[in-house]
Chains A and B, each alone.
Chain A
Amino acid sequence: MMRLPRFAYRAPRSVGEVTDILAANEGAMVVAGGTDVLPNMKRRQQTPALLVGLRGIAELKLVAEHDGLTIGAGVTLADLLDIPLVRQRYTGLWQAAAQIATPHLRNMGTLGGNLCLDTRCNYYDQTYEWRKAIDFCMKKDGETCWVAPSSRRCLAVSSTDAAPMLAALGADVCLRSADRERRVPIADLYRNDGIDYLTRQRDELLTSIQLPPAAGWRSAYWKLRRRGSFDFPVLSVAAALQFATDRTVTAARLVLGAVASCPIVVKGAAAALVGRALTDEAIATAADLAAHPARPMDNTDFSLIWRKRMVRDLVSYALREVRGDDVRELRRRVSRAALLA
């Protein structure tokens, strides 16, 4: 079987200890559930000299209700699904988390881990031996991006399900280092670069996620993948809309996942929804506008042409669900699960 490389391991008990270790050790990486880092280490995609385990830190597992909701980055995806408020008011987040990986992996994987998930690519998520056979790639040990050899940046795909949805919900994240703490809108946590995909500094720890109040908002998350479990998204749509009492849309956010190296906020499509009722025409207009910025590449499952083609459909599914349409049949077909709030 595949073996982990040799590494040192620390298991601190507080966030302060973690940030001190990160400040003092350039080659350190943090590990929460380990469902991303450990397989990557086995494939020698990452070979940190020091691994800092986060599971013993109680603060990272806190959940606090206020006018919004604060969720510790170390809360497992399985535990996140058990928070009633998430299911009731932040439905899209619940739907996103419910579709991450498999039940076993959700028992281990954390919300913070999913947000920091390494970008993925069929040329990169391979063993050392396989990558050697293609003379490696730009993201690790090589120079060329084989997805598009003329590309000057890495085109690995942002494959987190939580990030697009949290961006649509207007969430912030807290980042703490030894000497500072900052709070940034979640969309600003990412940049469209497969290698340098996070704006998190090397010595910073993502500690919590803050959700704004949900009053008047409705949300939905649709994920496209081959199978009903296990797979990362090849395309996802996160939609959050605020409605006035007369059903007029007063605010909207639409975010696409898995079509670039970061979540893509489609502002034009969202703006087109505001100030009117969510009619079929409005949905069609938004779906067309949303499809335009999606640039899938040939480095995931399914053909890129079909993935691009599917953006319109998936956006319309999400908006119809937000509108309150009965989408049970569609969910059964596309998601292979009810995912009812």
Chain B
Amino acid sequence: MRIIGKTRRRVDARAKVTGQTRFADDIVLPRMLHARLLRSPVAHARIVAIDTSRARAMRGVYLVLTGRDLPIPYGILPVSQDEHALAVDRVRFVGDPVALVVARDELTAGEALDLIEVQYERLHIFADPIDSLTRDEPAIHAAAARGNVHKLVSLAFGDTDRGLADADLVFEDTFFYQGNTHLPIEQHAAVAALDPDGKLVLWSSTQTPHYVHRALARALALPAAHIRVIATPNGGGFGGKSDPFNHEVAIAKAALVLDRPVKICLNREEVFYCHRGRHPVVMHFKTGVKRDGTITAVQLETLLDGGAYGSYGVASTFYTGALQTVTYHIPSYRFRGCRVFTNKPPCGPKRGHGTPQSRFGQEVQLDKIAQALAIDPAELRLRIVERPDTITANYMRVGTIGLAECIRRIVDASDWRARYRKLPHGRGLGLACSAYLSGAGLPIYWNDMPHSAVQLKLDRSGGVAVFCGATEIGQGSDDVLVACVAEILGIDPLDVRAVTGDTDLTPVDLGSYSSRVTLMMGNAAIQAAERARDMLATAVGEHLGVAAGRLAFADRRVFDTQNPAAAVAFDRAVCLAEAKFGAIGTTGSYTPPRSAARYKGGGVGPTPTYSYSAAIVEVDVDPATGWIQVPRIWIAHDIGRALNPALVRGQIEGSVYMALGEALMEEQEFRRLPPRLSAALVHKFPSMLEYKSPTTLDMPEIFTELVEHPDPRGPFGAKEVGQGPLLPVMPALANAVYDAVGVRIDEIPVTPEKILAALKAKAAGKEPRFGPPRFPDIDWPEPLQVPPPWEGGGGTASAPLRSASSAASASSTRSNR
């Protein structure tokens, strides 16, 4: 291969380094107006009245919209259509939008916000998930499992009680993972305008133009065919731009009303209010093991603080329990998850979506298990790594798995055997592993159409244009698209023009989320390119008088592999094909294979193939102060094949950066003022200065290992890399703290204060630990019983009348490892 696997300059690099990439806020249109949102200053209230008359009368103000103008709710998931662009009768958190002002400039719009008078009737404020668990009224949303409990999940795969009883040792641990946010450099921005036909166009820094397109059609009650959504290049997404947002819907409405372009650019504080970031999760792991480390059963319970809206929350809840089984063999597994509503900005998908929290708990608990069993943590994991081509207890289909090699590579690179448990007091190493999806197996809304589609246009100039709805959010998706096409057609990536993320021009790709783009778009692109290549080969074969199958495409030539001198240039080949077939246009599409999980809830977790990562973190802890530093990290990632190694390494290093922020400092924290004096519940510090994320000076040396065994389901064998490498870093860091100073920090972030508190507890003869004391009591529903494959299950729930004990009787037939 000429292109795939080579480190190349990415195709959009020139535009980015020369400042020519046009982000949403760079768009300036004639007669354009500017909008700002009035946001709620109260955390939970009924809107009694809104008086916009003074704002409307202000010079320079063109329009004021309120919830009455946009009565139709929307939301990313079909089951959670609980958002309004502007609050209709209720505000649910400080920052919830109430009105939109459109004015000649941003300053005027901002001044007009102050002239809008809103009367609120305050309601009880839910600040703490425990409050939401126990108090049903007032319900933040009518649609909920009960009261303020948004979602309850209870799944049982095999007889966990039997598994725990069969164990030599049972470990129980409670962990807390603090919420945090995406912090993209680019704040969300959008421009709405009507095209000369009167159709709506929205440019937006979104990761999911297709879903925004659907939400706009719904919320504005317009035919989808009369709406065009263009995803501008994102200055970072990380999951924070994958919901349809208030500001997008509201300015689209304003553009329709005014027939003038309207722009909005959120400020940093507003981005914190859009949020959709990492859910704060309290979790409890109960794990049974044999003395050799073999796991007999796992029971996991999670409680997610969802914030004020549904967003992706139902999926997030399932994700906290979906991937525990794909790394290590777990013969029986029980998962219970609960998401509650609170009066805070809504949580949603952040890089790793729902899985980093319980991955943290699982990997820290494994470290404790290794310690108790006196087995090296790397060795323990190597013993229990899931086998390739397996269907897990919860019916996740594991294909290729490079996890064991990831572990071996970092163990060697870090000199683990010579250094683990042997470094001086205050210095330590910790290891952890993880897995992630290469794209969600199911779309957000039910349909049986492809998840990604690509169109290819070749013309007699030799030019190739590739069209795909995929969205470049900085991860390099345009480069992957172009590379796949260029490789198949034997041309240079810079010969190909990519047109992406435009619902008018490009076929649907579901968006840049769930690490799906390389695999799904890549496969669709390969199919489209192969179809074009076959047409060219037929025409060239006739011309040269050789069988089409003997022809190869490389270096902008089509040639006979048995006689390379017999060749035509690529542009000549296109002419020959165009003469023979007419205009050359091909399509390709990709639909993931059918999942083995057929039970309710089994739609979350399946993927065409899982990626695997392993990391070793070295820490330097001052036992006197708790001060913690990370000098070095070794990380290995099972990428299948690196299409462009520079992009892969960039994603891994970026993941490590983001992971360290979560592990050491980032907190989406809220401040409840003394209730006797104030009803306020506010984000503690919605700014890039006080919401702490690492600077370049805080970054360690990173040693990256790529494990490359091409996966048959991936394009040229590639798996995902955008999210997986984030996951092992947080638990590896907590495990390293234990190696360094002998205390367990069962909570993220790991801060000097917490380390010092644990050290003090240790010195006082108490449990050498900092973490949540216990998991709260939750009234779980009866579990859905799904017998695992080795009990003869078929991926569906067993008959509802079948009792837990009868399902258990089959557990002794579990597969012999």
Contacts and interface: CB of A to CB of B under 8 A. Distances in A.
Contacts of B685: 122, 126
B622 A133 contact: no
Interface in B138-194: 187
Contacts of B94: 130, 133
A306 B682 contact: no
Interface string B684-727: 11110110101111100000000000000000000000000000
A129 B114 CA distance: 10
Interface string A124-162: 011101101111000000001010010000000000000
Interface stretch (B279-287, B376-384, B624-632): B624-632
* Interface size range of chain A in the complex: 35 or more
B41 A129 contact: yes
Contacts of B625: 309-310, 313
Interface stretch (A18-26, A177-185, A223-231): A223-231
Nearest to B269: A127
B267 A306 contact: no
Contacts of A337: 697
A228 B697 contact: yes
Interface string B745-778: 0000001110010000000000000000000000
B689 A333 contact: no
B196 interface: no
B695 A229 contact: yes
Contact of B692 (A132, A301, A303): A301
Contact of B677 (A122, A132, A144): A144
A1 B106 contact: yes
Contacts of B756: 306, 309
Interface string A264-285: 0000000000000000000000
B692 A129 contact: no
A230 B689 contact: yes
Contacts of B684: 122
B265 interface: yes
B39 A129 contact: yes
Given A129-B269, A133-B682, A313-B624, A306 B752 contact: yes
Contacts of B677: 144, 149
A38 B685 CA distance: 19
Interface of A is mostly: loop
B689 A231 contact: yes
A334 interface: yes
Contacts of A305: 753
B622 A229 contact: no
A2 interface: yes
B682 A228 contact: no
B627 A333 contact: yes
Contacts of B267: 1-2, 127
A130 B686 contact: yes
B568 interface: no
B30 interface: no
B690 A334 contact: no
Q: Which 8 A-B pairs have the closest CB atoms?
A: A228-B697, A133-B41, A3-B107, A306-B753, A336-B697, A134-B680, A229-B695, A226-B692
6 contacts: A6-B107, A130-B683, A133-B41, A133-B94, A313-B625, A333-B627
Given A125-B690, A227-B692, A313-B625, 16 more contacts: A3-B106, A126-B687, A129-B39, A134-B682, A146-B673, A146-B678, A226-B665, A226-B692, A228-B698, A229-B696, A302-B751, A310-B625, A333-B620, A333-B627, A336-B697, A336-B698
Interface of A: 1-6, 122, 125-127, 129-130, 132-135, 144, 146, 149, 226-231, 301-303, 305-306, 309-310, 313, 333-334, 336-337
